[in-house]
Structure formats: C-alpha cells, structure tokens
Structure 1
C-alpha cells in the first residue's frame, strides 16, 4: 500500500441547517496535512453532522470548506474518494455476528473490486492478492491491532471485542483503502482514562504516519487542532441578541423570550424560506432543542452516503 499523504482541511463560516434549526454554524478551521483535528462538544451539538459534512457525506447549507484541494459543497464526490469513515454510529457499525477475520476479508474484497482502477483489475490474480494482503497488514499495524492477541485470533466475534479493540478494528478497516483523511466519531466514548490515552495515542500515530485525522470527542487533547461546535454558534447568537435587544433604560418586553426572537429575526432577514420556518426555528431556540433536533433532522434529510 502506498504511503498515504494527508489532506489539508480548511473551513470558513461552515454551517448546516435542518428543518428545525442549525446542526452547526460558523465553523472555521485551518489544519495542515497530517494534523490531528478534534471536534469537541457535548452530545447533540452537531459534532457528527460536522464530521460527515467535512467528509462529503452531508451537504452544508452555508460557507465553504476545502479538503485536500477539493472544495465543498461543489466536489463532494471527490472528497468522499479521499476520505474514509472509521467508527460512526449508524453509518459504519461493525456487524456483531461476524468475526474479525470476516470483516477484514470483506473490506479487502470490496477494496480490490471497487477501490482501484479498471487497469488494476487486469493485473494477474496473484499480484492483486499479494497487494491486498500488504494493504491489510499495513492497516492492522497502523491501527495497532494484533490478531493473535485476540481471544480466538481472527475468529473472534466482534461482539466479544472490548471497546478499544473495536475502535482499532474500525480504524484498520478504514485504512485499508489508504485514505488521505480518516474520520472517527465518539473517539473517547465509554473509555476509561487509560483507554482514552491509548485511543488518542492511536490517532496521533495515524496522523504522524501522514493521514489527516478528524475525531469527534467530548474533551479534546491539548496537542490537537481543536474545533468546538458549541463555540462556533454561541458568539454569533450573543452578538445578535446584544445588537437587537432592548436598551437598558427601556421597560422589559412583556414576552420573556422576545429578545431571543428579535435576534433570530435579525439573523434571518431576507430569508426566502418564509415566516413559517422562522417561527418554527424561534420555538426550538427557546426550548434549547435546536442543536440536537437540527442535527437529527439534517442527517435524515441529507443522508449519510
């Protein structure tokens, strides 16, 4: 397998909106090839939507991004070809009924059939098989997964894997295709402190090997390029509220949520979607459910593949 070279990642005022509000908004990012990028924020803040948008799986609503020289949203298909998804819940889930070896063979077969050029398929079968074995061995080594240390070796069922072992397997499967960017969702979920350190050490190692890594987490390590889905949205909202809110010497409005509604109206001035969608978004903003519902609806509306 050729040594992967990482993809530079840049974004400016990047945002994605669903029918009930913004999944994320105002994201800015500038990372060099081979960087470890941590998308930080609480669950429901649009982290997974941002991950899928940066890898060309979801179409952004505003702003622009560039992944390895390919612009989003203009060249989403090109971005998908150079990016690979590691563990992403609901998208790339491992099949608990299959063994580790079966997962690896399946991914290697898919890579041989669909990951290369037509000319590559015309090469001798033994040559293609040797290349496939080399790809698998290199990916397993990069993910730090030693099959012989598993309870039943390659015949170990996925349901019997520990969380960290499952993470290593998902990363190895993604690396078989030699991507320029690896995306990992919930990198630190359900891990102990020691396991969390091992997980970040794994992702640092992949990035050091030349593949850019974008990982969703609840708390980013200090050495990562950090992107917060919460910080990306809150400052703009605060500025709008300050600009459009009542003066200090004016009486308070009768409706306690009126200031928030005014801020939303200011942001949406000239919005062609009409007053009905504006009213719906205002309601979700007041209840504090905009981020989580917006993320869920954006996934359902846009699709993951």
Structure 2
C-alpha cells in the first residue's frame, strides 16, 4: 500500500467491465494522485456509474488493471471498499425521504461507532466516544457545506423537504463520517442550476484540496476545465451504451490535467454487472457504515454512546 496519510492514489490501465448486454466501459486509463478531483463525464447509460462502482470495489472488472491507494483490483476489492465511501448513488446509497436530517446523522454515527473503529476504541469511556461521534459529524457537515440551522426545521427537516443541492451535501456529509480516502459521488450535477452546479463543484474541490481523493460522475465537467488546478483528472465515457450484440462500446477517453506514475497489477476477473446499471452486481460492503443509510440501524439505542452525542445537543 502507499504511505500517503489520507487521500488514495487512483490508477487504471485498460480497465473495463462487461455485462450480459456488452461492455459497460472499456479501455479506461487514468492516473490520479492523492487529493485529486476525478471528474467522470458522459451521458446517462455510458457506464459512468459502473466505472464509479468498479473503482470503489463494488463491481468486478472484466479486463485491465487498477489500484486504489496501492490496493489492486479486483484482488483487493474488500480492502478498497474499506477505504472508500459512496454518496448520492441511486439504489446503493440513497437518502431515505421519510427520515429527518438528524435521524440520518444519528444512524450514520451509530454505524460508524459499531463498525468503523477498532475493538480498543469500543472499550473507551462513553464520554470519549460521544465526543468523537459529535466531532466526526460536525466535521463532515462543515466539509460538505451543510449548516443544519439554515434548514427550514433545522436538524428535524425531512429529507423530502431538502433542496437538491442540500440533499447532495447531506449525502456527502454522511459518507465523510467514515473518513474515507476515496469519496465517490454519483450524478453530481443532475438537475442543478448553473449556480448550484458551481457550488457543488466548489464543495468537491474543497474536499480534494483538504486531502480526500474525490471521484465525481457528471454530465458536464467543472467550469474552467484544466484551469481548475493541476490535480483535476477528466475521464470521458462512451457516448452510447454497448449494443446488445456484445460489441464493445466506444473507447473511453482520458484527459488528465496532471498524472502520477503508476503501474497496475496483473490479473483480471471474468464476471461483472450489466452495462449501464449501478446495482446489478454490487459487491457486499465489508463496512456497512461506509455507504450511508442503506438499511436501518435497529436495536442500537445504547450503541457506544453515539446517539447521546445528538440527544444532548438537540440533534436527535
């Protein structure tokens, strides 16, 4: 593994994923240093989400090589899942519209306390665990640019009442609670106005500048292209889905603004999910806390004191 303290380097060579209807994507080459912003651009159905899931260890590639933080894919898929987190991925890490912002944050803190730490951490005094849970959530909210006090009902605002950009920020904040080295965000600019799109990219650029490697799927790249900085890597997927005959989709183009030297491990896998789908072959996550509230955390009212961090501060 590489020795970088936080962000994960991401590299790929001839990377491809094939499903029953053909290639979701193929011939992906990229090299991104830790703390880079990787923008995956392409139309819907071009394999963007599949590439995101493959690079985070959730889908098994069919050809080529890739590494995340020095961990080879597909050999170390579980380890890659442990250092990455998903945000805003339909069908995988969606927000529950019936829950409030506070309930999402409380649940995420409970999961992080149960699955995201060491056994030694679980044995610490409850007061210390409460303080750590609160600090994690506060830091994640600040990094995502979401101020609960600015919401219509504060922390008790339902997800269904959030604006599109606010929901994106909440999803990113939930993913950041796990302190991932690689943050993957799907549909970054979907249904956002120009002003909201600029704000979303500013948030992601800020996360990358702080050291977290960010992989963001979009229909349009950030404004300014390469002028955004030397650590912007632009990956373009094909302009149409793979045909039913199984012929390869158009070769993906990669235009890194700056790249790092990398060489992926040998070895490929032979199974993958169908083209253009996000959830057909998603691997089980070794860390249930990594991808936000995919399922409810039931029966953990006293879980490591994390819930108290919100109850005592008016956040539950």
What secondary structure, in the 3-state scheme, does the structure 1 residue paired with 2:81 have?
A: helix
Using the TM superposition, give the Cα deviation of residue 280 of structure 1 relative to its aligned residue in structure 2, in angstroms: 3.8
Q: How many residues align?
A: 252
TM-score norm. by structure 1 comes to 0.78
Aligned to 1:281, the other structure's residue is in SS state coil
Q: Which structure would you say has the larger RCO, counting Cα contacts within 8 Å and 6 or more residues apart?
A: 2
User: SS at the partner of 2:85?
Assistant: strand
The 1-side partners of 2:184 and 2:236 are apart by: 16
In the alignment, the residues of structure 1 paired with residue 194 and residue 274 of structure 2 have an alpha-carbon distance, to the nearest angstrom, of: 30
Q: Which residue of 2 aligns with 1:225?
A: 233
Shift of 1:47: 0.1
Superposed CA deviations along residues 15-56 of structure 1, whole A, max 9, x for unmatched, are: 000011000000001000000000010000000000000000
- Structure 1 distance, partners of 2:107, 2:281, is 29
Match of 1:25 in 2: 26
Matched residue, 2:303: none
Task: Work out which of the residue numbers 280, 288, 291 in structure 2 matches 1:300.
Answer: 280
Instruction: Normalising by structure 2, report the TM-score.
Output: 0.75
Cα pair 1:52 1:304 within 8 Å, conserved:
no
CA distance in 2, matches of 1:299, 1:173: 20
Write out aligned runs for 1:254-265 (5 A). none
Which of residues 241, 246, 259 is equivalent to 1:281?
Answer: 246
Q: Distance in 2 between matches of 1:293 and 1:117?
A: 36
Residue of structure 2 in register with 1:257 after alignment:
none
Q: Secondary structure at the match of 2:175?
A: helix
Q: Give CA-to-partner distance per residue, 1:262-301, whole Å, 9 cap, x none.
A: xx9xxxxxxxxxxxxxx9425x97xxxxxx96223x8424
Distance in 1, matches of 2:138 and 2:198, equals 24
Give the Cα–Cα distance (whole angstroms) in 1 for the partners of residues 279 and 78 of structure 2.
17
Residues 30 and 164 of structure 1: CA distance in aligned 2, closer, same or farther (over 3 Å)? same
- Aligned equivalents of 1:8 and 1:165: distance in 2? 29
CA deviation digits over 1:43-91, x for unaligned, max 9? 0000000000000000000001000110100000000000000110111
Determine if contact 1:98/1:158 at 8 Å carries over to the other structure: yes
CA distance in 2, matches of 1:156, 1:302: 31
Question: How much does 1:201 deviate?
Answer: 0.3
Q: Which residue of 2 aligns with 1:54?
A: 55
Q: In structure 2, what is the Cα distance between the partners aligned to 1:21 and 1:85?
A: 25
Structure whose residues are more often helix by fraction? 1
Quote the Cα distance in structure 1 between the aligned partners of 2:171 and 2:282.
24
1:268 equivalent in structure 2: none
How big is the shift at 1:219? Answer: 1.1
Partners of 1:65 and 1:202 in 2: CA distance: 27
Deviations 1:205-253 (A, max 9, x none): 111111000000011121331001128x99xx9xxxxxxxxxxxxxxxx
Contact kept? 1:18, 1:301, Cα under 8 Å: no
User: 1:139 maps to what in 2?
Assistant: 140
Alignment of 1:38-53 (within 5 A): 38-53=39-54
SS in 1 for 2:64: strand
Larger radius of gyration: 1
Q: Determine the C-alpha separation between the residues in 1 that align with 2:284 and 2:30.
A: 22
- The answer as to whether partners of 1:139 and 1:173 remain within 8 angstroms in 2 is yes
Tell me which residue corresponds to 2:38: 37
Q: CA–CA distance in 2 between the matches of 1:202 and 1:4?
A: 21
Q: 1:42, 1:152 → 2: CA distance?
A: 36
Which ranges in structure 2 are unaligned for 5 or more consecutive residues? 250-272, 286-316
